[in-house]
Structure formats: C-alpha cells, structure tokens
Structure 1
Amino acid sequence: MSVPAKPVTILDVAKRAGVSAGTVSRVLNRANVPLDTRRRVSTAVSELGYVPNHAARSLKRRTTEQIALVIPDVGNPVYVQMAKSVQRVAAERGYRLSLISTENGVVDERQLLRGLHERQLDGMVLVSLRPGPSLLRQIREAAPRVCLIGSFPDDLPVDAVRVDSAHGVRQGVAHLLAGGRRRIAMVHGTRGTVPAETRARGYRDALLEAGVPFRPELSVDGDFTMGSGYRAVDALEGARPDAVFPDAVFCANDMMALGVMRRLRELGRDVPGDVAVVGMDDIDMAGMSAPTLTSVSLRAEERGRLATEMLLERLAHGGPLAPRVVHVLPALVVRESSTAHVVLAGGPS
C-alpha cells in the first residue's frame, strides 16, 4: 500500500529557493521583493507544485481573498472584455474573482450586496443598468467595499468609474453628419435602463446641435441584443410616411448594429453605400464583421481595470478616503460601415 505524498509547505519552497518563509510569503502576496528573489521563489513554487492554502490564510486575515464582478449579461461581449481586465488585475494582486451575471435583473443585486456584510466576499465591482432606491440604499451601506461602473447619483459616497456615453453618441452622429448623412435613425437600448436613456439623450442633442429635426419614425426601440437590431430594420421599413429609408442608423450598442447590418444585407441594401451603420462599445466582433463596423469605444477593459484597482486599493488601505470618481473618455473608431457619401444641395434632409 502506497504512502500518500507529504504536502508541500511554504518551508519547502523557502528551502528550495534559499530564502526565508517570510520572503516566500511576501512574494506570494505581491509585496515589493527584488526581481531575482521573486524569480527564484516562483521557480521553486513551480518545481515543487506548491499550492497556497487560501482557506488558512483567509482565516488568519479574516478575509476571503475573493472579489466579485457583477454584470447584467454574461452573454454580452462588452462585459466579457470588462471581465478579462478585472480578472487580470485581481490575479496580479492575489485575489480570486467570482463572475456573477444578474441576467438583466433576474438575479437580485441587493442579495449579492448582502454577501459583503456576511463576509462571503471582500469586495465587489458592480455594473447595474437599473439602480433603484432600494439598491442605492444597499450600496451606501456597503460603500467602502464596492466600486461602481456606470452612471449613478452624484451624491452616492462610493468609488466609481464613469464614461460619458451621451458624448460618445454625439461623436458617432456627428461623424455620420460629416459624411453627408441626414436621415439618421437610432435603434435604442432597453427602455428604463440608464444606458438606453443616456444614449437616447445624446442622439437628440446631436441632431439639435446640427439643426437636423428629430423624427419619431426614425427612433426604434431595441433591447441591446442582435435580434432586436435585426427586427428594427423591419420597423423602419414600415414607418416611412415619405417612403424614404434612412441613409444611416446609429445603434446603442454593437450587437444591435450587427443585427441591423445582417437584415440590411438580406434586403439588398448596401452598407455603407445605401445605409451607413455605427454602433457603440467597440466589441471584438466589430473589427471582424463584413463590412467592419464603425463603433464608439466606451473602453470597457480600461473601465474594468480602473474599477478593480480602485477597489483593491480601498481594501488594502481602508481609512476615511473620500469617494473617488474617475471619468473615461469615449473614442470613435471609424471602419468600413460608415464611409462618406455626397448629398446634393436641396436633397432629402
């Protein structure tokens, strides 16, 4: 009968690396250690197959060494981009990440926040599309251990990372106007969500600034999915009192824009020859579609990175730091779907 192998301990690693156990601990906890020492410890860990005992360390420190990223929809590529950067930063700081999708409200965000009070998690990066009064109250109570991504009330005493998506919409619409487009439709996101309302305001403001009248028949509701973008084209086809189809469509996210382009292609409308299309989020698929999709980047990875760094800094140092709000600027990424065309003077407006 074979004798079970003795578990590798931190002392074994220290002996192999020629350092003290305390030095091994500092390396594992991402403390400031000379590069040569760090490499020797890392090599010893790899050679011995050492696995740190997170449970024991958590009990000693009264922490879980785990944070959560709470997002509305794990199927949306923009949140996958965000999750990758959150995971990267968490791992660099010695934290494990739980990824939780609320499925656009099916999972109660308030219940997840209670997990902070019950010490199931050390902290949370939260993205919420519908932050109602009850949720905001829970956020206030958990404030030191939560970092928000998105638009929330200014008086909420919580660290946050924001992006001005209304400005991003104005950038996209201005780009279409500069290319000679005048009948610019918009496919909106899910009604009642902060992103949808913010981006709808940006669309109206962009038209107003350019002196282009807002036409209700060119404004179609979607729900941030590819299917709703696909169906929006048929809605625009059926809502044309002047029998003139839009010469451009701005979509509140890239998934809907991809659906719009798919349906336009089926109907024989050329993109961008007949209709220019612009999306928002700059997901990876935007650069792989045919034609490639012009999109307003809201820098999801950067927002995820900043929010995680802010949260972990708060957890590490604590103290009565004033809430911090970091603003990220959107950026227009021009691709094939929105090349310019010429509108003759006196043409449709």
Structure 2
Amino acid sequence: MVRVTITQVAAHAGVSVASASRALNGQIASAETVAKVQHAAATLGYVADATAQSLKRGRTKQLAYAVADIGNPVYVEMMSAIERVVSASGYRLVLSSTGTSSSSVDVVRDLGRGYVDGMILSPLRVTDELLTALAKTPTPVVVLGRLPDDVNLDTVRADSLTAMRLVVGHLVAEDRRDIAFVNGPVDTTPGAFRRDGFAAAVLAHPLLTTRSVDAEDFTISAGYAAARQVLEGDRRPDAIVAANDLIGIGAIRAAEDLGLRVPHEIVVTGIDNTELAGVVRPGLTSVDLGAEERGRVAAELLLARIAEPSRAAHTVTVAPSLVVRGSSVHRPNTQGHASPADRSTEATGLGEERAAG
C-alpha cells in the first residue's frame, strides 16, 4: 500500500503544503482551512509520519522501561504504574528486557540513537561499565534500584534492610527460632542488599539459629531447588525467608513435595508482595516493597527531568510494610493485609533526599 503524502492532502484540499502542515499540526490556520485539510486527510487515509514529526518537535514522545525479566510480576506492577503516569502526559511506553548486565549497558548506549526521550532502568547488576554508560548518555535516565552515592542520577529505591527486619521480627513473634534464608544471586543488587538486611536483622535476636543458601536466580524453579537443599539437610529449619515471592513459592512447593505442611511444620515468607503471593495456597506472607509506588515516583522523576534537565538529582526511598498470610501463621488475616499487631512494626512514609553532587 502506497503511503499518502501531505502534498496529496494539500492538493485535494486546494491549499498549499505549508497550510496543510499547519492545519494538521495544530499550528495557526483558519477554521476553514483546518476543516478542508482534515476532510481531505480523512478521505485519502492520510497517516502522519511519526519520524518526521519527531524530528520537527525534537521529541519522540516515547519513553523506555528496561528491566531484567519482563515476566517477573514485580516489574509488571511497576510498569503498570509507570504507564499510567507517562500516558497521561502524552507519552508512549516502550518495554525492553535487559537480562544480563551487559545487555543493560547496550540498552543505555543505544539511547544515543534518540529513539526515546528518556528511560527508566531497573538493572539487576550495577557494573562499572554500566555506570560509565549512564554517565555518558545524553538522554535522561531514572534508575529503579541502588547506585553508588557519588552517582548523580535520579534513583528510586526499595528498603531491603527494613524489609528483612520486619519479616525476621514477625517470625520471632511466631516463635520461630531456626531460620534459613534463601537468597538469589549475591552478585546482584537485590541479592546483596537482602543478604545484608538479613544479617543485620538477625543480630537483634541473638538466640536465633540461622543459615543461608543462594539460589541460582530469582525464580520459582531456582527457589524450589535451593529450598530442597535446605530442607533435605541434616537439620531442618522451622522457617524459610525467601529473597522474593518467586523463590518463596518455590520453597512452598519444595516443602509440599517433601511431605511438610506449611505453616504447621515449616513456615515460609517472601518479599515483594506480588499478586502471586495472594493466589498461592497457603497465601504467602510477604513484605510489600511498594512496587507500584516506586514505578509512579520513577515516572514522575523522569518527566520532571525531561522538563528541567538541570534540576538537582533526587533519591527517593519507598518504605516497606509486612503483609501476613497463611504461610507463616495458623490464623492469617483473611484480608491479606498487615494485621493491627503487625502495623506497629511497619515502616511508613517516603524518604527523599538530594543525591550527592
């Protein structure tokens, strides 16, 4: 099919090409000219050339959202929040899967091609190569995750340290004394911070017996394999703290396959409070890291950066809250939210500070 040109539209409407262009782009033109040009465009089936319009505006009206695993429900929740914010401002959201750390670098480097006006990036691993690419890109970027303090970029963070304090405190209150932590890869940002958070949380409870194992990935299958390793060991724990909900779901399945009842013989908790946590049976107790809120804040920071490129960089930390379900207590709150007793241990509010530099 041959594309209809603006020259043809102008000829059909009986006006100059310049007049047709002004009428179609909302620029100054008489009502009569606008009506004739729009009628001609509809009659001929004219579709504006988005590339040409982008060159004229100096903007693509597209923003990118780049994540390691587009199938992870926490990223999907963030994406929904981001899309709501940016679409309200007239932007289209483009999704990109980065996978490995090298792919994250490639995605950032490609920003120089000008295919989007900005990017929200959630890197699984922060390498020197990625930091160099971020420093060189001319396109605004907001990072969902943690960067070194001396990096001058807008960032939105989860609070994994407080998350671990909440979940360990809950298990102690449930009289659990032998806790196994099933983490993801520790060379990732979430793996490192959740490891450190767990270590700090258990220091406050010196009577606890603990151990840790690292799953190969933050997935159900990797969580299943790592949990079986723990549960088939010489000393079975009475609780498993999973580094995310997918690992936690894998741990529940591993316990069931070994004939262990959850929560009667082993309790399991997760982190992220994804939709899956409320769907599995028993429901998975999880720490909500505010994925939706993080996505919303990241989108607003990116739009603000595009509007005012010279503004100071901001770091926003979204507070976590504990959501108790049946995987860790015999009588869970049926509403799937933190019970009144748990609310006293929730972290609330948002912390915002200007990043160094």
When normalised by structure 2's length, the TM-score is 0.77
* Counterpart pick for 1:326 among 316, 322, 336: 316
User: SS state of the match for residue 153, structure 1?
Assistant: coil
Within the candidate set 82, 90, 108, 2:103 is matched to 108
Match of 1:265 in 2: 256
Cα deviation for residue 56 of structure 1 reads: 3.8
Partner of 1:80 in structure 2?
76
1:229 aligns with 2:219: no
**Alignment coverage as a number of residue pairs:** 301
Q: Specify every segment of 5 or more residues in structure 1 that has no aligned partner in the other structure, as ranges.
A: 13-20, 27-43, 342-349
Query: How far apart are 1:111 and its partner, in Å?
Result: 2.0
Give the conservation status (yes or no) of the 8 Å contact 1:166–1:198.
yes
Residue aligned with 2:283, SS: coil
1:143 touches 1:158 (CA, 8 Å); kept in 2?
no
**Higher mean C-alpha deviation, range 176-185 or range 140-149:** 140-149
Q: Hey, what's the Cα distance between the residues in 2 that align with 1:173 and 1:340?
A: 17
How far apart, in 2, do the equivalents of 1:296 and 1:276 lie? 15
Q: Distance in 2 between matches of 1:316 and 1:64?
A: 14
In the aligned structure 2, how far is the partner of 1:207 from the partner of 1:182? 10
Residues 294 and 262 of structure 1: CA distance in aligned 2, closer, same or farther (over 3 Å): same
Residue number in structure 1 paired with 2:213: 220
Aligned equivalents of 1:311, 1:284: Cα separation in 2: 26
Question: Which residue of 2 is the match for residue 39 of structure 1?
Answer: none
> What is the CA–CA distance in structure 1 between the aligned matches of 2:26 and 2:176, rounded to whole Å?
61
Alignment match, 2:147: 152
CA separation of 1:62 and 1:180: change in aligned 2, threshold 3 A: same
Q: What is the root-mean-square deviation in Å for CA atoms of aligned residues?
A: 2.7
Structure 1 Cα separation of the partners of residues 100 and 288 of structure 2: 22
1:192 Cα deviation after fit: 0.5
- SS of 1:292's equivalent in the other structure is coil
Could you tell me how far 1:297 is from its partner in structure 2?
A: 0.8
Decide which of 214, 239, 242 is 1:248's aligned counterpart: 239
- Shift of residue 143, structure 1, vs aligned partner: 7.0
C-alpha contact 1:144 1:158 (8 A) present in aligned 2:
no
Amino acid paired to 2:312: A
Check the 8 A contact 2:222/2:250 in 1, yes or no: yes
The equivalences for 1:1-349 within 5 A come to: 54-105=50-101, 108-142=103-137, 145-213=140-208, 215=210, 218-222=211-215, 223-240=217-234, 243=235, 245-318=236-309, 320-339=310-329
Give the letter aligned to residue 309 of structure 1: E
Structure 1 vs Structure 2: percent identity of aligned residues?
Answer: 40
Higher relative contact order (CA 8 A, sep 6+): 1
Q: Determine helix, strand or coil for the equivalent of 1:262.
A: helix
Kindly state the Cα deviation for residue 333 of structure 1 after the two structures are TM-superposed.
0.7
Instruction: Measure, in 1, the Cα distance between the counterparts of 2:321 and 2:138.
Output: 30
